[in-house]
């Protein structure tokens, strides 16, 4: 096996970009939307 | 008529017909400037990715990947561009959208309400957009003229005519829809043609390039570039992409916050996906046909000589798309700046909706004529401007925008001083080095120094000058403006049960998980093939 560390860096950075993006977007969803979504879900289940 | 010329005409005609058909959607200025805020995830992902992938990727950086190795720019420089795009969309663009900005100039106007700030920001924007756009048009136009065997001025006239139709008839609608069409041809290059070229070369031979060209699969590359150069590339691209109007303004037509968040996840995935596939294909060309001169023709030789005629046509259309998508965005924004920010706001012309759209259209025609004349004449000055044009946003705008968004003490004199010191020192230090009057330590360049000088000036001036009552008021108001609150409010107004809001919320999570899986699969596969 001929491990090429810089190739890992190339594709690792590409993957890291998506991971960072998902973490940022996930944090926005959890912080800014989740409280409202949970409240709405609770209200809907109460009505049922 | 040869086949390449037929493709050239057919592709341009298709874009013009689509853009002309979209004219019926233009009813008011919001339709013209931000497509009535009706941008869907597909359209905005298309325009973001198409604007991101310019002729620089397909020719310049592909050429470096061909001759020195795909990692030289791909591993750090491009990584900076991807992260910069994320910042432009999720942070700067999203915040400006929450402030109901229609152009980036709206942000400066609303935050500071100072004519000098607006004038300097506007001048920098016009120089930055036109300088960067025209030089790309000239460079790629010259190559295209040679391939199609049509005189260069005819290519430029055809391009600028098409751009004039997109931009003047249907404004942002035309740009976004045609960008999305172009995005699909770029996808074909990245995911059909590039894998084909890589397949022809063979993974084993591609890996073996480091035997014939030592350093080919390293960060330093075959030419053994210094690590400081790679770090400098990372900084240049992240600072430039984070606040370039071409990317930030892609967010303004979004329908709602969920669209922005999905575009961030999907669009930012496509940035590395398209670029790295092209860089690897350029590496494959080194196996298939070494010795291509100049190296920036590597991908074009790949399309034309190593695929079938249909794919060669798609490749040519993709090359045209990479030129036009970036150019159309840069030129439409310049036109918006002249009509809306200069004529309507700075000259304080009160225009009704109809006249405002007309002013927008006229300014697009003016921009197209100016671009056409400069591109054909190719004055020496445009090459000089292009050295500094793109990066001027990084040194002059980025510190200003960050301070304006995050620091209560940001004031008009401080941001004005930052923009002037940043841009003037950037050019002066660059010229001193270019004329060999001064040399900088390894890894330090004029952009970094100008960025530091501008930022220090900004901090000192913010501490020295108190912000006005207006500026404090606007800062407090801006802090309260959130895209999430606006979106939640609009969704609940339309559907008080919240069912659609919950559905959209789930869809963003699904997009997020899907992109993680796709990215993990794609990059993992390529690493196993090339890195182990």
- From chain B residues 273-292, the ones with a CB under 8 A of any chain A CB are 273, 276
Tell me the shortest Cα–Cα distance from A6 to chain B, in angstroms: 5
* Domain layout of chain A by residue ranges: 1-40
User: Distance of alpha carbon B425 from its chain centroid, rounded?
Assistant: 24
- From chain B residues 72-91, the ones with a CB under 8 A of any chain A CB are 74-76, 79, 82-83, 86, 90
B264 vs A6, A21, A32: nearest CB: A21
Best CA proximity match to B90, nearest among B235, B266, B217, B229: B266
Task: Report chain B's C-alpha Rg in angstroms.
Answer: 23
Q: Distance between CA atoms of B311 and B215, rounded to whole angstroms?
A: 32
Helix (H) or strand (E) holding B61: none
Task: Provide the b/e sequence for B25-55 (b: ≥16 CB within 10 Å).
Answer: bbeebbbbbbbbbbbbbebbbbbbbbbbbbb
Chain A residues in contact with B276 (beta carbon < 8 A):
10-11, 14
Tell me the shortest Cα–Cα distance from B46 to chain A, in angstroms: 17
CB B452: neighbour CB atoms within 10 A? 15
- State ipTM: 0.94
Can you give the pLDDT at residue B1? 57
Q: Distance between CA atoms of B486 and B492, rounded to whole angstroms?
A: 10
| Residue B39, strand partner residues | B254
Chain B residues in contact with A1 (beta carbon < 8 A):
532
Task: Report chain A's C-alpha Rg in angstroms.
Answer: 20
Q: Distance between CA atoms of B361 and B167, rounded to whole angstroms?
A: 7
Q: Distance between CA atoms of B393 and B241, rounded to whole angstroms?
A: 9
CB B307: neighbour CB atoms within 10 A? 18
B267 touches chain A (CB under 8 A): no
B521 touches chain A (CB under 8 A): no
Q: Residue B39 — φ and ψ, nearest 5°? A: -65, 125
- From chain B residues 191-220, the ones with a CB under 8 A of any chain A CB are 207, 210, 217-219
Angle at B186 between CA B289 and CA B6, to 5 degrees: 80
Question: Is the bond into B328 cis (omega within 30 degrees of 0)?
Answer: no
A vs B: CB pairs below 8 A: 126
Can you give the pLDDT at residue B47? 93
Q: What is the pLDDT of residues B211-238, one digit of tens each?
A: 889 989 999 989 888 888 888 889 888 9
> B529: nearest CA in chain A?
A7
Q: Distance between CA atoms of B175 and B246, rounded to whole angstroms?
A: 12
CB B438: neighbour CB atoms within 10 A? 11
Q: Map B62-127 to HEC letters.
A: HHHHHHHCCHHHHCCHHHHHHHHHHHHHHHHHHHHHHCCCCCHHHHHHHHHCCHHHHHHHHHHHHH
DSSP string, B253-276: TBSSHHHHHHHHHHHHHHHHHHHH
Q: What is the CATH code of the structural domain delimited by B3-22+38-531?
A: 1.20.1730.10
Q: What is the pLDDT of residues B419-474, one digit of tens each?
A: 999 999 999 999 998 888 888 887 788 888 999 999 999 999 999 999 999 999 99
Token representation of residue B345:
């706001």
Token representation of residue B333:
């924004």
Can you give the pLDDT at residue B453? 95
Can you give the pLDDT at residue B455? 96
Tell me the shortest Cα–Cα distance from B219 to chain A, in angstroms: 6
Best CA proximity match to B465, nearest among B96, B112, B105: B112
Residues 6+ apart with CB under 8 A from B483: B94, B95, B97, B98, B257, B260
Task: Provide the b/e sequence for B477-511 (b: ≥16 CB within 10 Å).
Answer: ebeeeebbeebbeebeeeeeebeebbebbeebbeb
Token representation of residue B281:
């294909």
Token representation of residue B427:
């050019």
Q: Distance between CA atoms of B91 and B99, rounded to whole angstroms?
A: 12
Q: Distance between CA atoms of B369 and B390, rounded to whole angstroms?
A: 21
CB–CB of B74/A14 below 8 Å? no
Output DSSP code: residue B307.
S
Residues 6+ apart with CB under 8 A from B402: none
Digitized pLDDT (tens) for each residue of chain B, 532 residues in all: 577 778 878 888 888 898 889 988 888 888 888 899 999 999 999 999 998 888 888 888 899 999 999 999 999 999 999 999 999 999 999 999 999 998 888 999 999 999 899 889 989 988 888 888 888 788 878 888 888 888 899 989 988 888 888 788 888 898 899 999 999 999 999 999 999 999 999 999 999 898 889 989 999 989 888 888 888 889 888 998 999 898 999 999 999 999 999 999 999 999 999 999 999 999 999 999 998 988 888 998 998 889 988 888 888 888 888 888 888 888 888 888 888 778 777 777 777 878 888 888 888 888 888 888 988 888 877 777 777 887 888 899 999 999 999 999 999 999 999 999 999 999 999 999 888 888 888 778 888 899 999 999 999 999 999 999 999 999 999 988 999 999 999 999 998 888 999 999 999 999 999 999 999 999 999 999 988 8
Token representation of residue B80:
């900076």
Can you give the pLDDT at residue A1? 63
Q: Distance between CA atoms of B195 and B528, rounded to whole angstroms?
A: 16
Q: Distance between CA atoms of B139 and B30, rounded to whole angstroms?
A: 34
| Residue B254, strand partner residues | B39
Can you give the pLDDT at residue B227? 86
CB–CB of B19/B181 below 8 Å? no
CB–CB of B289/B201 below 8 Å? no
């Amino acid at each position: 096996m001929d491990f090429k560390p810089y190739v890992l860096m190339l594709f690792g950075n590409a993957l890291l970009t998506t991971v960072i993006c998902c973490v940022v977007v996930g944090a926005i969803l959890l912080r800014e939307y989740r409280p409202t979504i949970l409240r709405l879900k609770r209200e809907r289940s109460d009505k049922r | 008529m040869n086949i390449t010329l037929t493709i050239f005409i057919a592709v341009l005609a298709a874009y013009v017909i689509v853009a002309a058909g979209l004219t019926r959607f233009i009813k008011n200025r919001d339709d013209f400037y931000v497509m009535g805020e009706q941008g869907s995830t597909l359209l905005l992902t298309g325009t973001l990715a198409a604007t991101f992938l310019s002729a620089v990727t397909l020719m310049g950086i592909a050429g470096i990947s061909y001759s020195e190795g795909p990692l030289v720019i791909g591993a750090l420089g491009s990584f900076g561009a991807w992260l910069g795009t994320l910042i432009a969309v999720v942070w700067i663009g999203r915040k400006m959208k929450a402030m109901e900005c229609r152009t980036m100039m709206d942000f400066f106007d609303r935050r500071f309400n100072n004519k000098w700030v607006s004038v300097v920001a506007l001048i920098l924007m016009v120089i930055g957009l036109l300088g960067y756009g025209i030089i790309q048009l000239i460079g790629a136009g010259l190559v295209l003229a040679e391939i199609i065997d049509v005189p260069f001025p005819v290519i430029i006239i055809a391009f600028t005519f098409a751009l004039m139709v997109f931009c003047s008839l249907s404004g942002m609608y035309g740009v976004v829809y045609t960008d999305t069409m172009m995005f699909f041809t770029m996808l074909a290059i990245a995911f059909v043609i590039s894998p084909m070229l890589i397949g022809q070369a063979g993974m084993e031979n591609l890996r073996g390039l480091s035997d014939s060209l030592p350093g080919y699969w390293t960060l330093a590359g075959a030419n053994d570039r210094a690590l400081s150069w790679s770090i400098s590339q990372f900084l240049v691209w992240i600072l430039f992409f984070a606040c370039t109007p071409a990317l930030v303004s892609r967010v303004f037509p979004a329908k709602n916050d969920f669209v922005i968040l999905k575009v961030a996840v999907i669009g930012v995935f496509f940035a590395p996906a398209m670029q790295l596939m092209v860089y690897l294909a350029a590496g494959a060309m080194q196996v298939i046909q070494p010795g291509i001169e100049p190296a920036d023709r590597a991908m074009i030789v790949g399309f034309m000589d190593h695929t079938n005629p249909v794919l060669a046509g798609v490749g040519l259309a993709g090359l045209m798309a990479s030129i036009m998508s970036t150019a159309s965005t840069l030129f439409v924004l310049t036109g918006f700046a002249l009509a809306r920010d200069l004529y309507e706001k700075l000259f304080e012309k009160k225009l009704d909706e109809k006249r405002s759209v007309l002013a927008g259209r006229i300014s697009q025609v003016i921009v197209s004529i100016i671009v056409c004349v400069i591109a054909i004449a190719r004055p020496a000055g445009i090459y000089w401007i292009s050295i500094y044009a793109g990066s001027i946003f990084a040194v002059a705008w980025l510190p200003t925008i960050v301070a304006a968004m995050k620091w209560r003490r940001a004031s008009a004199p401080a941001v004005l001083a930052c923009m002037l010191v940043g841009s003037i020192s950037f050019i002066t230090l660059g010229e001193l080095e270019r004329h060999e009057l001064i040399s900088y330590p390894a890894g330090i360049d004029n952009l970094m120094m100008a960025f530091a000088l501008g930022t220090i000036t900004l901090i000192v001036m913010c501490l020295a000058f108190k912000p006005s009552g207006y500026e404090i008021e606007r800062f407090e108001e801006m802090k309260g403006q959130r895209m999430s609150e606006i979106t939640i409010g609009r969704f609940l107004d339309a559907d008080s049960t919240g069912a659609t809001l919950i559905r959209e919320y789930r869809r963003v999570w699904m997009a997020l998980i899907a992109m993680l899986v796709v990215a993990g699969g794609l990059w993992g596969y390529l690493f196993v093939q090339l890195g182990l």
